């Protein structure tokens, strides 16, 4: 989920920077055009100040590395601006953050559905992680790993199998596969890389995960603000064909494994790794490792979740009435489908656990509550992002961006610029969720305007969907290589790898994928190149990359362990 840990004491220089930003907000009012402007064809906006709340949130997040604090201050300044920055409005704006904008965000039926879905799926993950089900899945996969390559492939395969949550993915895969990879001579750095690269990149593009409600909620709210009637889940599905970085990062893991070549610091570390017997069997997510490891207890609830969403979309979209599958999905109620499916998966997970006597009902519900509670930080950020959307709507941010940038930005480069902005923000803050929450409300209306307001056909469609995908992809990349990202930290911890070593060894691989994703994917897409051809070119380049940049394992020993 990529929510950054608490930072240490904040240096005085950073405090002064924030103070200067806040003072500039007050002193620069005449320059920012705060007088309410009447637009001939739309609602009024507050000039340049319309974009200050989200920009302030980004700046504070980068400096303090505290996304919730950054969003709150951005909301406060935005709510204050609604009152034209009057002295009375300063206090009223602070009160309005919670009483008006947060309450409005929570009162929306679609938003409530997303919150319920997120809590339900988090609870389901908590149950199957504690009833031995996930450990059963792990045990089945690890029986196949009999050499270094197979051990690495099994690790990557398990990362794909645990697609529904990045935290569960990282903790289960790292802890479960560490004794196997140790025994087969795979370095801890290589294990951490595989774990990290099959966590967030998988979770952000899989169809049913703990991220989907969050992503769909942000997209749907931003789309509704500018009058896009297309279902938010369908917009997300369309954007997947332009999600170059996540898909290519996953593919590159398998390319590296199959090539038996490494480069950068990883080459020397892999060369120095020797087969060894593990000192002890590490614990997985379960609080009671002695519970029966029955894979069906995890597979069945997950299958019900996936199939339930498909059935829900079919049922609410009028399936069987002569519509095409695309029309059915587009007309379906994704929020209802997600809630129905997650409810059914929770019921099944609890029933399997209790009826088999694995845990008592009290223990099972405690595991469910613990899993649901793990979603609260993400939900808090999501609600504040929705509230930010309400503030920017009141300030006319979308209209201002359209007026100022709609004709100034070359549509061909917008997806690339969005990717770089998202990557920088996520790298500095260590959170992909916070980056998405801040940028999606800004990028959706901007991409809509730049693409010509017709995202369902032609090159404009590619720019629109690729821009949305670039927010998600850039956020994952920045979080992926950030040393303060919690998923990066968890990958190091679960794999038993030194954290700095993990960051240093993973960075060259992530940079390779990001460069190829931009040069071979996002830029050509903007000029009308088909997405499938871009993927083919990117994959071809990545297949060749280890042969050009890397060395076979037998030659890598000459590099030494400190390469």
> What is the value of pTM for the model shown?
0.67
Distance between CA atoms of 101 and 79, rounded to whole angstroms? 9
- pLDDT surpassing 50 at residue 359: yes
What integer pLDDT is reported at residue 40 of this predicted model?
Answer: 37
Residue 227, by phi and psi: left (phi above 0), alpha (psi -120 to 50) or beta?
Answer: left
What integer pLDDT is reported at residue 43 of this predicted model?
Answer: 46
Q: How confident is the model at residue 458 (pLDDT cuts 50, 70, 90)?
A: low
What confidence tens digit (pLDDT) does each residue in 272-299 have? 877 765 444 444 444 455 688 888 998 8
Q: How confident is the model at residue 27 (pLDDT cuts 50, 70, 90)?
A: very low
- pLDDT surpassing 70 at residue 96: yes
Distance between CA atoms of 325 and 331, rounded to whole angstroms? 10
Question: Rounded mean pLDDT of 401-425?
Answer: 79
Question: Rounded mean pLDDT of 56-81?
Answer: 82
What confidence tens digit (pLDDT) does each residue in 305-322 have? 878 888 887 888 888 777
What percent of the chain has a predicted confidence (pLDDT) above 90? Answer: 24
What integer pLDDT is reported at residue 470 of this predicted model?
Answer: 94
Burial of 230 (0-12, 13-18, 19+ CB in 10 A): middle
Q: How confident is the model at residue 407 (pLDDT cuts 50, 70, 90)?
A: low
Please check whether residue 388 is in contact with residue 57, taking contact to mean a CB–CB distance below 8 angstroms.
yes
What confidence tens digit (pLDDT) does each residue in 165-174 have? 676 677 667 7
More confident: 297 or 404: 297
- pLDDT surpassing 60 at residue 125: yes
- pLDDT surpassing 50 at residue 502: yes
- pLDDT surpassing 50 at residue 25: no
Q: How many CB atoms lie within 10 A of CB 186?
A: 25
- Cα–Cα distances in angstroms (integers) from residue 7 to residues 62, 63, 176, 286, 401, in the given order: 12, 10, 30, 29, 33
Mean pLDDT of the chain: 79
- pLDDT surpassing 90 at residue 190: yes
Name residue, tokens 């240490």: 8
């Amino acid at each position: 989920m990529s929510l950054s840990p608490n930072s240490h004491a904040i240096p005085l220089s950073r405090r002064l920077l924030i103070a200067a930003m806040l003072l500039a907000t007050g002193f620069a009012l005449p320059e920012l055009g705060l007088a309410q402007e009447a637009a001939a064809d739309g609602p009024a906006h507050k000039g340049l100040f319309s974009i200050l709340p989200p920009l302030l949130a980004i700046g504070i997040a980068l400096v303090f590395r505290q996304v919730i604090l950054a969003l709150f201050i951005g909301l406060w300044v935005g709510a204050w601006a609604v009152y034209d920055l009057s002295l009375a409005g300063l206090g009223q704006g602070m009160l309005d953050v919670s009483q008006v904008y947060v309450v409005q965000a929570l009162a929306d039926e679609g938003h409530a559905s997303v919150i319920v879905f997120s809590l339900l799926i988090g609870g389901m993950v908590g149950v199957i992680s504690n009833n031995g089900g996930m450990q059963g899945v792990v045990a089945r996969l690890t029986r196949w790993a009999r050499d270094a390559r197979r051990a690495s492939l099994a690790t990557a395969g398990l990362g794909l199998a645990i697609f529904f949550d990045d935290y569960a993915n990282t903790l289960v895969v790292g802890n479960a596969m560490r004794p196997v990879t140790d025994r087969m001579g795979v370095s801890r750095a290589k294990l951490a890389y595989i774990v990290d690269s099959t966590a967030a990149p998988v979770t952000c593009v899989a169809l049913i995960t703990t991220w989907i409600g969050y992503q769909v909620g942000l997209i749907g709210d931003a789309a509704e603000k500018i009058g896009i009637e297309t279902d938010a889940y369908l917009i997300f599905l369309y954007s997947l064909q332009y999600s170059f970085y996540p898909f290519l990062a996953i593919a590159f893991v398998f390319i590296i494994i199959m090539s038996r070549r490494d480069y950068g610091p990883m080459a020397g570390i892999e060369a120095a790794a020797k087969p060894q017997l593990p000192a002890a069997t590490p614990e997985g997510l379960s609080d009671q490792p002695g519970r029966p490891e029955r894979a069906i207890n995890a597979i069945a609830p997950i299958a019900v979740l996936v199939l339930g969403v498909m059935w829900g979309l079919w049922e609410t979209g009028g399936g069987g009435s002569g519509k095409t599958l695309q029309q059915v999905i587009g007309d379906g109620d994704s929020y209802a489908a997600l809630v129905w499916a997650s409810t059914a998966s929770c019921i099944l997970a609890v029933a399997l656990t209790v009826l088999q006597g694995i845990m008592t009902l009290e223990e099972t519900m405690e595991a469910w509550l613990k899993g649901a509670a793990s979603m609260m930080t993400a939900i808090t950020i999501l609600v504040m992002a929705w509230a930010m959307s309400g503030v920017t709507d009141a300030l006319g941010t979308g209209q201002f961006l359209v007026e100022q940038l709609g004709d100034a930005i070359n549509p061909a480069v917008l997806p690339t610029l969005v990717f770089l902005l998202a990557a920088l923000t996520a790298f500095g803050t260590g959170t992909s969720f916070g980056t998405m929450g801040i940028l999606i409300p800004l990028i959706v209306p901007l991409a809509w305007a730049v693409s010509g307001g017709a995202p369902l056909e032609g090159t404009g469609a590619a720019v629109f969907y690729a821009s949305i995908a670039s927010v998600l992809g850039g956020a994952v990349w920045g979080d992926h290589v950030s040393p303060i990202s919690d998923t990066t930290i968890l990958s190091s911890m679960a794999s038993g790898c030194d954290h700095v070593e993990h960051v240093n060894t993973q960075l060259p691989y992530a940079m390779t994928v990001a460069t190829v994703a931009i040069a071979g994917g996002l830029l050509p897409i903007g000029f009308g190149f088909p997405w499938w051809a871009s993927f083919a070119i990117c994959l071809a380049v990545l297949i060749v990359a280890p042969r050009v940049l890397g060395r076979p394992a037998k030659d890598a020993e000459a590099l030494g362990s400190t390469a």
